[in-house]
Chain A
Amino acid sequence: EAGVTQSPTHLIKTRGQQATLRCSPISGHTSVYWYQQALGLGLQFLLWYDEGEERNRGNFPPRFSGRQFPNYSSELNVNALELEDSALYLCASSLEEISYTFGSGTRLTVV
């Protein structure tokens, strides 16, 4: 069984640009979660999608947005990038909220 896959692995953008991160959940998992992990810090909850809808979002500005597609894959979009958006962005999927399976992450660097 394929795990959660994220692309790209690394992404370098300049301040003010937009970044798009992608996540494919484990087959059969309908929920996708996005977390931000800044360097040396813990995971901060960003967004939760389930059955194509945004169920909840963390304490992040509106320039962080995303969507979930009919096949349950998901995109995270970050507009008007700022230097402090540099972080590891982790996607996780779950079926019944017992445990999450995480992807390897996308390391976003804003210069």
Chain B
Amino acid sequence: EAGVAQSPRYKIIEKRQSVAFWCNPISGHATLYWYQQILGQGPKLLIQFQNNGVVDDSQLPKDRFSAERLKGVDSTLKIQPAKLEDSAVYLCASSEYSETQYFGPGTRLLVL
């Protein structure tokens, strides 16, 4: 069974630029999560989707971050404009109808 796919794996941008990350969950997994992991910290939930609806986006900085999950499968997370403090690893995870989450390889973002 294929795991969670993410792209790109690495991205370097300058502050105030925009960037987008893509995630394809494990086939059949209804729930998709985006996390931000800053160096030395645990992952922090940004947004949770159930199929193509948002369950929780309370920790998503909506002035600059947006996410969508069209058709209830893959998802895109966008940052516009990026700030220095957005430098982090962005992790996508998915789960079937359970609490067990499986993580993708992540996208490492460096904002200069």
* Bound pair (A, B): no
A binding-site residues for B, Cβ under 8 Å = none
B binding-site residues for A, Cβ under 8 Å = none
